Chain A
Amino acid sequence: MSEHSTAPGRRVVITGCGVVSSLGTGIDEFTAALRAGRSNVRPISVFDTTGFEHNNGCEVIGFEPERWIENVDIESLGRASRFSTAAARLAVADSGIDLDVLREARCLLSVGTTDGESHELDSMVSQEIDGGPEAMSPRLARRTSAGRLATSIAHELRLSNVEVGSIATACSAGNYAIGHSFDAIRLGEADFALCGGADAVCRKTFTSFYRLRSIAPDFCRPFDKNRLGILTGEGAGILMLESLESATARGARIYGEVLGYGLSCDAHHPVAPHQGGIARCMELALANAGVKPAEVDLISAHGTGTHANDKTEAAAIRELFGDDTPRVVSMKSMLGHSMGAASALAAIGCSVAITEGFIPPTINHVETDPECAVDCVPNVAVEADLRIVQNNGWAFGGNNSVVLIGRYDGPREAIA
């Protein structure tokens, strides 16, 4: 795809994927679930939902952090950091890179998040209600800094020469982290990047969306006429990025190439999506990648399943892509809304869609809303030959980010 990119510098490829999700742990379980169109919706268990009329969510069930985390005291980590650290371990293993190579290199560790360790803050509030502020736990307090979602990875992998931090741009943060890492590697300022997003289900966020009447009572139905909102989810998606030269030199398996990305801010409303802002973000991403709208084979939508998002997003896509609008799917129909992890998990979904040759479906779909006039690949995955996939992410605060991922077909002869 090098003929596309207008960006100077090195080409950047994805060579490892680490997944902790409600659909399973590890890239193989995740890919199988996306292909099968599964979800794992169930009543939320990590906090007491008594008093809420409905309480479905997409939790990570049966997660055993001690299976993946060896070097860090698990008790020192909040729920989201356990997800990010385990997913980083999985991404490194999937990439086949020797840890000693990473330790000798300059690495970027960048984790997007909406809530950081809000689950721990929720627990501290419960302690305060029961016993006053003096009764809050020092152990929980030490977990709360959002930067720990990233620094915990450095400690687990024993990496010292790292640029490390969290990007707290809410529900598009995973794409932000991938974009930041793309730039760092492209410019030669990092050799490898472990990037993506992580979040844990928490009372604060469930209550927030519930109060905004944006939680679906049963299932998440993006683009459906009768969609009723999101289901809160959780997990982590961490990708290994490196330069194409590096990947080629070590004979790495390449999932795809990061072709470019875009960032825009709506500067419009704290929580409502804005058609102009997200259209501008898609335009910036396409320009950065050197891709024309007609060349995009699939859009992985932000697709939360709220009335406002899906209508606004479909309109922005239609405005920009017109008759060339490709299929537009929402993986949140299967994963729920995993907040800061969402666009990272979706980017991983895009990567395996390219390598495995299928389009993940939009499940729970009955009747497409005429106001969302897109082919969302209802309910059943389809086989497809995908060359360029666009991954959308929007967020509270009007923080928009879009990443473009292309198939890597191996070195080609220069065209005479």
Chain B
Amino acid sequence: MSTGTLNPPVISAWTAISPFGHDRASFADGVRARRSPVSALDPERWSPAPGGAACTVPGFEPREYLGSKGTRAMNRVSGLAVAAAKHLLADIGVEPGDERDDIGFVLGTTTGSVQSMMDLTRASLTGDKPDHVEPAAVPGCVMNCAAGQAAIWHGLKGPNATIAAGRTTGPHALNYARRLLRTGRATRVLCGAAEEYSPARAWVEHHRRGGDDPVVIGEGCAMFLLEPADLRPPGRRVLGTLAGFESRVCLDGDLAGTVAVAVRALLAAAGIAPDQVWAATGSGFTDAAGEPVETVALRALFGDAAVDRVPSADLLGDTASASAMFQLAAILGVAETAGRAGADHTVVTTCDDDGSVACTLLRLGEPAA
């Protein structure tokens, strides 16, 4: 174990398996074009769910995508996480079969695979005997199934953690990963979040929201390589530096106000003025009254130009714990082809109807020498 580094970690690679397609390029193209990936659900693939449309990853089935070995009982969220990690490891030149004790893996989730969990309970309640459930299905019913599978597939033996903080999972998971690097518990971390589309998840979300509006469920996995800038191998570009994290819980019902408090604290801690922020993006969360609370707060703080630069994550439907990771990916995708005129900072905010609010500050580009 090293002693860690004081340098803030940088993002030097990323990938997204998303409703736009299976790779980073398709995600970046989709976000830049602001194309809607909503499609009608295939009734032959999915049992009846509320609403006939969703944002699913096109043509994705774990068994077809990853091959038949080791995928017989793999659920969809595990398949998405394993696939994203596979892409990212290939991008950074970690060969298949390499065993790495020092690579951490941090994955966000809301509740794991609600479909796997509810299917097992249903089998117990409706089978001939209550223990007549498929033993191979058991591992997929635990919330860390996807992170554990990714570790097995890719030989990742460093710290392996699953973070569940509702829609605010993204900033919290990034902060957890940053601490692993800061304390030397890992030298690199793959950090992402994954959600699967499933009828079970769609029904739970439908009822969670009171069952009125049709909810468009999104799925996928966005994942980033975090590493200390000074430990980067030659030739790997820095895409951005994690420059801050803040979080609050709203106690007074004023979520927009709480977002503003958190973002001001985020900027103050980093010594950044609002006019240094090139893009500020929210998760597209709307409160019970339909108010897009983050957008309201961000427009007041940064003006329309910064807020309109990158679409919010609800372009992909409701991706729940993965939403903030997709926002961060969207920023990187848009920044690839856009001029920034000296304003290098970006802000990602997210909030949940349980009152939690979190935000991340990312400084784009190579760190100043």
Contacts and interface: CB of A to CB of B under 8 A. Distances in A.
B133 A211 contact: yes
A52 B131 contact: yes
Contacts of B3: 6, 8
Contact of A184 (B101, B141, B179): B179
A169 B160 contact: yes
Interface in B169-220: 169, 172, 175-176, 179, 182-183, 185, 199, 203-208, 210-211
Contact of A167 (B155, B162, B248): B162
A204 B208 contact: no
Contact of B1 (A210, A269, A284): A284
A338 interface: no
Nearest to A132: B48
A130 B105 CA distance: 40
Contacts of B131: 51-52, 207, 210-211
Given A50-B130, A115-B143, A168-B164, A264 B208 contact: no
Contacts of A129: 122, 125-126
Interface string A137-172: 110111011111011001100111111111111100
Interface residues of B, number: 79
Contacts of B205: 141
Interface in A242-261: none
Given A210-B131, A284-B1, A287-B1, A267 B99 contact: yes
Contacts of B126: 129
Contacts of A280: 101, 157
Contact of A203 (B105, B124, B135): B124
B129 interface: yes
B356 A164 contact: yes
Contacts of B210: 138
A97 interface: no
A203 B131 CA distance: 10
Contacts of B206: 141
B156 A208 contact: no
A396 B139 CA distance: 7
Contact of A146 (B111, B122, B154, B160): B111
A168 B160 CA distance: 11
A165 B204 CA distance: 21
Contacts of B56: none
Contacts of B118: 121, 124-125, 128
Given A164-B247, A287-B1, A265 B156 contact: yes
A183 interface: yes
Nearest to B160: A265
A117 B112 CA distance: 11
Contacts of A113: 143, 164
B157 A187 contact: no
B157 A265 contact: yes
A343 B120 CA distance: 26
A208 B247 CA distance: 36
Nearest to A71: B251
Q: Range of interface residues on chain A? A: 35 or more
Contacts of B77: none
Contact of A154 (B101, B135, B355): B355
Contacts of B183: 7, 183, 186-187
Given A160-B250, A168-B163, A397 B142 contact: yes
B121 interface: yes
A84 interface: no
Contacts of A204: 117, 120-121, 124, 141
A149 to B, nearest CB: 8
B59 to A, nearest CB: 26
B114 interface: yes
Contacts of A397: 139, 142, 144-145, 147-149, 151, 160, 162
B161 interface: yes
A223 interface: no
B62 interface: no
A271 B164 contact: no
A280 B135 CA distance: 29
A179 to B, nearest CB: 9
Contacts of A160: 248-251, 258
22 contacts: A6-B3, A50-B130, A116-B164, A121-B118, A124-B204, A125-B122, A138-B208, A154-B251, A154-B355, A155-B355, A158-B251, A163-B247, A168-B144, A176-B161, A207-B121, A212-B135, A264-B101, A267-B154, A267-B160, A284-B185, A397-B149, A398-B151
For the complex of A and B, list the 10 residue pairs with the smallest distance between their C-beta atoms, beginning with the closest.
Answer: A397-B148, A165-B165, A270-B139, A265-B160, A168-B143, A141-B207, A263-B159, A146-B164, A154-B249, A147-B166
